[in-house]
């Protein structure tokens, strides 16, 4: 790892993050946000976060937190002279999230987080760098408010092209509403000093909306925490499988855009092969429906597991022979699966559903990291798995995956590039 240390000038810099997801959320945007701000504070920056209480991916407040009122937390980093202050704001959390309920949730934390934003304005609290993370896109307005009143540079960082994804999945029916939302987002992008995205394909789509430079700011992985282990057979026994079982793992959000119903159809196609096992690990609004479907169809070759503890997650990922990175075709280049970074770091071999010409396709294909199949076609997935061999070509992909993660996805390399772009 690099020995980056902020210069005396940078150590005096203040950074504000505005996002509804933050640590200790174990996955997704919250995990990335937490690692970013802890990294900056460890390098001597003075960091502040406006966020909510941790709820993802379980869709309920994670203990020991309680969703009661506003809460302030402070973390110091004596050796680096950095600091981290976290303002947590109350929010509405639907037990069974739908498109409409998520809109209500978005409004709930936008309202509560606005109070903290106005507090900063009234107390004249200034930040050199203001980072807002989309989704949700409308938190960009809080960043615009603070920038307008107090100054500072505004970064609008896009993790997921939420609006396009919602439109592609028909989550809202009104074209007029989408036109208005696009207009609002365009205003945010125009006002931002910097716009960033997590993949080249996403950046191209952002540039199609507006003529503006977009910074490449990919998600990273801790390559010291996630690393290959040498005895996956013993790990399979630990999770209740036979040493010679071939395990295909999906670990991540369980929502509509993943198209996980195709995984169930593949499990049905291959149910006579007693050595092939499937795992869906995670939580989300579609998990109960998938579990009921699997039960109704008697799919004894597929298991549903909860989100695994962080302390066991490296072992859990290493236990699988292949990792399924699934998403529907209409989500291509709108999202870059964050789970992929951890898979590559452990030398995992992904099976990815994506179309030619997307960033995900180019990444896997150009670096020989795994297998690519067309989205929304479970028969192609079934045929690939049926004919899969654990041979030397798989070992080479494992080696390529680990090497790529170390070179391109190490947090120090990614964050150093980011700082050079904004300071």
- pLDDT value of position 1: 43
User: What value does the mean pLDDT take over residues 241-245?
Assistant: 96
- CA pair distance 221, 35, nearest whole angstrom: 9
| Other Cβ atoms closer than 10 A to 159 | 23
Cβ-contact 122, 90 below 8 angstroms: no
- CA pair distance 228, 347, nearest whole angstrom: 6
Residue 168 has pLDDT above 90, yes or no: no
DSSP category for residue 221:
B
- pLDDT value of position 104: 85
The DSSP secondary structure of 118-168, one letter per residue, reads HHHHHTT---SEEEEEESSGGGHHHHHHHHHHH--EEEEEESB-HHHHHHH
Going by pLDDT thresholds of 50, 70 and 90, the confidence category of residue 240 is very high
- CA pair distance 23, 310, nearest whole angstrom: 12
Residue 5 has pLDDT above 60, yes or no: no
The dihedral formed by the CA atoms of 92, 97, 103 and 108, expressed in degrees to the nearest 10 = 10
- pLDDT value of position 209: 83
- pLDDT value of position 333: 60
User: What value does the mean pLDDT take over residues 39-54?
Assistant: 96
Which backbone phi and psi does 405 adopt, to 5 degrees? -60, -45
Q: Is 71 exposed, middle or buried (0-12, 13-18, 19+ CB in 10 A)?
A: middle
- Helix (H) or strand (E) holding 410, with range, is none
> Domain 232-408 class?
alpha beta
Q: CA 147, 148, 150, 152 torsion: positive or negative?
A: positive
Q: What share of the chain in percent tops pLDDT 90?
A: 66
The residues, ordered by sequence, that sit 6+ positions from 78 with a Cβ below 8 Å of its Cβ are none
Decide which of 1.20.1090.10, 1.20.1530.20, 3.40.50.2000, 3.40.50.10170 is the CATH code for 8-217: 3.40.50.2000
The residues, ordered by sequence, that sit 6+ positions from 394 with a Cβ below 8 Å of its Cβ are 349
- CA pair distance 341, 286, nearest whole angstrom: 24
User: What value does the mean pLDDT take over residues 236-259?
Assistant: 90
| Other Cβ atoms closer than 10 A to 396 | 12
- CA pair distance 362, 200, nearest whole angstrom: 10
- pLDDT value of position 257: 66
One fold for both 8-217 and 232-408? yes
Going by pLDDT thresholds of 50, 70 and 90, the confidence category of residue 53 is very high
- pLDDT value of position 178: 85
Q: Note the pLDDT tens digit of each residue in 320-333.
A: 999 999 887 765 66
User: What value does the mean pLDDT take over residues 217-236?
Assistant: 92
Nearest partner of 98 among 87, 106, 89, judged by Cα: 106
Global pTM reads 0.86
Domain ranges of the chain: 8-217, 232-408
**Pairing mode, if any, of strands 129-134 and 153-158?**
parallel
Residue 181 has pLDDT above 80, yes or no: yes
- pLDDT value of position 330: 63
User: What value does the mean pLDDT take over residues 298-318?
Assistant: 95
- pLDDT value of position 403: 96
Q: Note the pLDDT tens digit of each residue in 265-280.
A: 999 999 999 999 999 9
Nearest partner of 270 among 145, 393, 167, 387, judged by Cα: 387
- pLDDT value of position 389: 76
User: What value does the mean pLDDT take over residues 377-402?
Assistant: 91
């Amino acid at each position: 790892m690099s020995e980056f240390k902020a210069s005396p000038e940078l150590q005096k810099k203040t950074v504000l993050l505005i996002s509804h997801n933050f640590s200790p959320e174990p996955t997704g945007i919250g995990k990335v946000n937490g690692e970013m701000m802890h990294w900056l504070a460890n390098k001597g920056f003075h960091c502040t976060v406006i966020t909510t209480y941790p709820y993802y991916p379980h869709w309920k407040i994670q203990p020991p937190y309680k969703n009661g009122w506003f809460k302030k937390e402070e973390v110091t980093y004596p050796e680096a002279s950095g600091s981290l202050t976290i303002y947590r704001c109350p929010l509405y959390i639907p037990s069974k999230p739908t498109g409409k309920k998520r809109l209500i949730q978005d409004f709930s934390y936008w309202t509560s987080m606005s109070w903290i934003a106005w507090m900063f304005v009234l107390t004249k609290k200034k930040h050199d760098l203001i980072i807002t993370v989309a989704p949700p896109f409308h938190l960009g307005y809080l960043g615009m408010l603070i920038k307008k009143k107090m100054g500072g540079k505004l970064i609008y960082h896009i993790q997921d092209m939420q609006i396009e994804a919602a439109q592609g999945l028909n989550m809202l029916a009104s074209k007029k509403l989408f036109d208005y939302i696009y207009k609002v987002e365009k205003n945010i992008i125009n006002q931002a000093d910097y716009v960033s995205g997590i993949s080249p394909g996403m950046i191209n789509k952002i540039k199609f909306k507006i003529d503006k430079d977009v910074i490449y700011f990919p998600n990273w992985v801790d390559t010291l925490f996630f690393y290959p282990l040498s005895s996956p057979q013993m790990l399979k026994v630990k999770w209740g499988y036979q040493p010679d079982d071939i395990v295909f793992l999906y670990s991540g959000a369980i929502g509509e855009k993943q198209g996980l119903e195709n995984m169930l159809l593949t499990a049905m196609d291959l149910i006579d092969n007693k050595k092939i096992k499937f795992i869906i690990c995670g939580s989300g609004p579609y998990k109960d429906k998938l579990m009921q479907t699997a039960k109704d169809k008697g799919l004894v070759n597929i298991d549903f597991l909860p989100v695994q503890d962080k302390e066991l997650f490296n072992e859990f990922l290493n236990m699988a022979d292949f990792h399924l990175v699934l998403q529907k075709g209409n989500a291509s280049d709108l999202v870059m699966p964050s789970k992929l970074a951890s898979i590559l770091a452990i030398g995992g071999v992904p099976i990815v559903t994506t179309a030619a010409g997307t960033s995900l396709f180019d990444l896997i294909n150009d670096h020989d990291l795994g297998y690519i199949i067309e989205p929304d076609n479970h028969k192609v997935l079934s045929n690939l798995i049926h004919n899969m061999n654990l041979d030397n070509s798989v070992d080479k992909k494992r080696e390529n995956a680990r090497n790529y993660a170390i070179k391109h996805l190490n947090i120090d390399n990614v964050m150093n590039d980011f700082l050079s772009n904004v300071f």
